[in-house]
Structure 1
Amino acid sequence: MRKAFICPSKYVQGEDEILNLGYFVKTFGDSALLIAHPDDVNRVKEKLDATCKKFGVRFQESGFLGECSRQEVARLQKTAEENNCSCIVGLGGGKAIDTAKCVAKGERLIIVPTIAATDAPTSHSAVLYHPDGSFDDYAYFKQSPSVILIDTTVIAKAPARFLVSGMGDALSTYFEARATAASCTKVNAGLPCGVREELCEPARGTNAALALAELCYQTLLADGAKAKAACDADCITPALENIIEANILLSGLGFESGGLAGAHAIHDGLTVLEGTHSYFHGEKVAFGTIVQLVLENAPRKELETVLTFCLEIGLPVCLNDIGVDAITPEELNQVAKKACIPEESVYAMPFPVTPDAVAAAIITADRIGKAFKDRR
């Protein structure tokens, strides 16, 4: 059996860590193309100036337009070439990070998240959009970023909703990796880059990935509520440090080398409902995790543990919590069908899955979540 595991070359996390960004730029050369939204640049401008001065490096401003599109990627690649940039730095949220991955094409890439809302920073993949914001395609690169640099001071000062959303995304990691391992489904870590997928034997997840995914879940239960309290107070505590690591590193390695399953497919299905559009990815994934547990008939104790955790930190447990006050049979059918399109991860579940089964799990999870919420 072929197995695969992928990870960044280096992960560094600490207070005021952006002050050391110049050191990592210096390992590639004297300059970096900085891909970041102007608001994110302004948030850390003093630190960027300080690290440039300390290490003698230069950041080339990119004028990032805010969308990870083929046109923007091509423009920024030209900017990097014209300015002889030694490496690429993606700073900020998901769009800036994904754009940096595409511009760098898997080489000389430093990722600096300013929020801990998803596990995307560690991955070797990105999502491309059209300039109007509609989905275009997925992109995969030959390796994960060279450096992931986490400034916990910056993340602690971001709105706590981002951290909570990251915990929602991370919550699914163990359950999806567990399902993928049981079904022996291929994982993203084994996807070829620049080679037709059918020419490469699928790779399964490793024991290491499953262990990291389980540690991610245990960390969330142990420190999630304490970390949210610290973030609400703009304070850095050991619990917050642990949750930042869980949201970004443990979940990132767990999903990419452990696999996705029902929770993310159900998230994708829920996006057809307009009411969900103002909710973050991780918030919808959290409800998708509850649906997956219902779909697989997980033990009652396990389901109640997840529900308790979600309510404790403010994650959704029912459709109403993600902006869906009512759902028609036609809408439910649309959600279930989208979650079950051929390329979706729902087929990593270790049993046959149908749109009818997904629809039933969504309605049942909604009822269970509402009832559990009412009892508390």
Structure 2
Amino acid sequence: MDNIIISPSKYIQGPNSIESLGKYIKPMGSNALVLADSFVTGLLGKKVDQSFSNAGLNMHMALFNGECSRPEIERLVALAKEKNIDVIVGVGGGKTLDTAKAVAFYNECPVSIMPTLASTDAPTSALSVIYTPEGEFSEYLVYPKNPDMVVLDTQIIANAPTRLLVAGMGDAMSTYFEARANTRSGKQTMAGGAQTLAAQALAKLCYETLLADGYKAKLASDNNLSSKALENIIEANTLLSGIGFESSGLAGAHAIHNGMTKLEECHHMYHGEKVAFGTLAQLVLENAPLEEINTVLDFCRSVGLPTNLFDLGVKTIDIDKLREVAAASSVPDETIHNMPFEVTTDAVLSAILTAHELGCQK
């Protein structure tokens, strides 16, 4: 199996980088379709327009209707062809960005991604999550390459709710531990091959950056201010974790997150918040040293990530419901089987309950 690493062609991050967006887009095309939802259009539309005007580029704003669905993608592809668009720009949250990737793919043109949050590592990835128009999961759309460019304005992200930044830390926290599991098992990553040393190093750096700067970044975000710590965490949440998960592999933490969709009480929690608990459960599953588990617990508590099922909204511990979670986490095609040992439903159930008990202790 070949060693493979994949990543965006260009990554740009800094305060007020939205002002230079047009300049960065210019080498990619001269007639851009900028996709954003109504909230982001109202918040940032004028700045985007000014940036493109300053760069001497044509720009058409297109309103994203809120769901990354096949009909929405087809509508926007038709619009792009009608306007002779040669570059797509997505500005906003995950569904907007996933739709922009899809429109660019079907329009056979480059795409630039500008997240307004640092809540997941999805912006750098070579895939989109497609839903039905009613909002139910439909499919993954996997692309032959990652976005051509990712641009993050750190002041925009500092202005966003802190909880979303912290959720991104929860998602990023899993990166190193899932990468480590794949290193030990030698399983194929989402990049289509074995890990590179570079991907392993980025995954480890992601974890080290979270421990060093996560709490300080949270405090800066609480005050809607950028800082060096916040900039480091934005990079960890987005770039380090993004390359890390695609090119180093997923394992137990994300599989347990997927299993937890069986619990209605958890549906209000963000992806990264559930992944943080999944990371704790994975560490228990692999019998990691208690010292390491306590380090992760201490970090989660410092920034406000959930450490037990009660934090996730579960009212009472129902073993039968948790067994359903464990069963869904360990179906044959789940990433939990990238762990370097055989995984059973009973083992996952035990890990979830033990992680919960450890997370309840102060």
What root-mean-square deviation, in Å, do the aligned CA atoms of Structure 1 and Structure 2 show? 1.0
Q: Deviations over 1:132-177 (max 9, x none)?
A: 1001001111100000001011000000011000000000000000
Match in the other structure for 1:351? 341
Change (3 A) 1:61 1:49: closer
CA contact (8 A) 1:21 1:51 kept: yes
CA offsets 1:168-203 (integer angstroms, 9 cap, x no match)? 00000000000011101111112xxxxxxxxxxxx1
Tell me, in whole angstroms, the C-alpha distance in 1 between the residues paired with 2:167 and 2:178. Answer: 17
Q: Which of 228, 234, 251 in structure 2 is aligned with 1:244?
A: 234
* Structure 2 CA distance for aligned equivalents of residues 9 and 137 of structure 1: 25
Q: Is residue 107–residue 146 contact of structure 1 (8 Å, CA) maintained in 2?
A: no
For residue 211 of structure 2, the aligned residue among 198, 213, 221 is 221
Provide the residue aligned with 1:316 in structure 2. Answer: 306
Residue by residue, what CA displacement relative to the aligned partner does 1:45-65 show, whole Å, maximum 9, x if unpaired? 232122022111232222211
Equivalents in 1 of 2:109, 2:321: separation in Å? 43
Identity within the alignment, %:
52
Query: Which residue in the other structure is 2:174 paired with?
Result: 172
1:159 and 2:186 are equivalent in the alignment: no
Question: Residue 300 of structure 1: which of 270, 273, 290 is its match?
Answer: 290
Deviation, 1:339, is 0.5
1:338 to 320, 328, 339: 328
Moved over 6 A (4+): none
Tell me the equivalent position of 1:77: 77
CA distance in 1, matches of 2:29, 2:7: 23
Give the Cα separation in 2 of the matches to 1:256 and 1:218: 19
Q: Deviations over 1:103-133 (max 9, x none)?
A: 1117400000000000000010111101110
Q: Which runs of 5+ in 2 are unaligned?
A: none
Number of the residue aligned with 2:220 = 230
Please, what TM-score do these two structures have when normalized by structure 2?
0.98
**3-state SS of the aligned residue for 1:89?**
strand
Q: Does structure 2 retain, via aligned residues, the 8 Å contact 1:107–1:145?
A: no
- Structure 1 unaligned spans of 5+: 191-202
Q: Which residue of 2 aligns with 1:212?
A: 202
Range with bigger deviation, 219-228 or 36-45: 36-45
Question: In structure 1, how many angstroms separate the alpha carbons of the residues matched to 2:149 and 2:114?
Answer: 9
Q: Which of the numbers 274, 285, 291 marks the counterpart of 2:275?
A: 285
- The equivalent position to 2:140 in structure 1, one of 127, 138, 141, is 138
Matching residue of 1:150: 152
Residue aligning to 1:49: 49
- Measure how far apart 1:327 and its partner are: 3.1
Q: TM-score, normalised by structure 1?
A: 0.94
Q: Which residue identity does 2:231 align to in structure 1?
A: E
User: Number of aligned pairs?
Assistant: 360
1:360 shift after superposition: 0.7
Kindly state the Cα deviation for residue 70 of structure 1 after the two structures are TM-superposed.
1.0
Q: Is the 8 A contact 1:25 1:31 kept in 2?
A: no
